[in-house]
Amino acid sequence: MKIKFTASLLCSLVLLAACAANRTSEQATQSNASNAAQPAASSANSQRTVNRSSAEVVKVNATAVEINAGGAGEASIDIEVASGFHVNANPPTFSYLKATEVEIEPANNITPGKPVYPKPVTKKFSFEQQPLAVYEGTTRIKIPLRAGANAQKIPTTLTGRLRVQACDDSKCYPPGAVDFSLPVTVK
């Protein structure tokens, strides 16, 4: 029994090692093919091949908000997508695409509402037959906020997360998340 288990374990480890080696080889081949397909070196193209994460090409800036206790207000979240990249709109063109999404946690009796996503840009890309609804450059997402009547009249920081999937003109990167803070002062 012990010999069968050891032999089975050894076979499993050999298979795992072979798969990992094959995956690494495939990734290297894809990376080389991708780099070969890139135009001659320029700073924009060099930056494009370095960025491998959706979170690396998207930045978030949240504007401070003041709300009266028992009142409502609106926060603005600006997402900045690096030049040469785009993110899927919300809602995305196809259900299988990862939509840009903002989530904000309530705190100090301040409750965020449903985000209001802007009108997207529609563009055609080489990797898809139909044009896609995307955001590029700087895009503003609005978040309605409501402060309870018993909210403390102090500066509060709401925690937020932006989920995106960045793509360039030829491929998409794995989805990522960017955490951010939203300063809110209750008056």
- Strand arrangement of the beta sheet that strand 121-123 belongs to: 121-123, 132-135, 86-88, 166-167
CB 54: neighbour CB atoms within 10 A? 25
Average pLDDT in the chain: 79
116-175 residue pLDDT tens: 999 999 998 888 889 999 999 999 999 999 999 999 999 999 999 999 999 998 888 899
In this prediction the pTM is 0.70
**Fold classification of 53-186 (topology level):** Immunoglobulin-like (2.60.40)
Does residue 142 contact residue 74 with C-beta atoms inside 8 Å? yes
- pLDDT higher than threshold 80 for residue 17: no
73-104 residue pLDDT tens: 999 999 999 999 999 999 999 998 999 999 99
Q: Please tell me the distance from the alpha carbon of residue 78 to that of residue 103, in angstroms, as a whole number.
A: 14
- pLDDT higher than threshold 90 for residue 25: no
55-67 residue pLDDT tens: 889 999 999 999 9
How does residue 177 score in pLDDT terms, banded at 50, 70 and 90?
Answer: very high
Supply the DSSP string of the chain, one letter for each residue: -HHHHHHHHHHHHHHHHHHHHHHHHHHHHHHHHHHHHSPSP-HHHHHHHH--SGGGSEEEEE--EEE-TT-EEEEEEEEEEPTT-EEE-SS-SSTTS---EEEE--BTTEEE---BPPPPEEE--TT-SS-EEEE-SEEEEEEEEEE-TT--SSEEEEEEEEEE-EE-SS-BPPPEEEEEEEEEEE-
| Domain edges within the chain | 53-186
- pLDDT higher than threshold 80 for residue 6: no
Q: pLDDT value at position 15?
A: 34
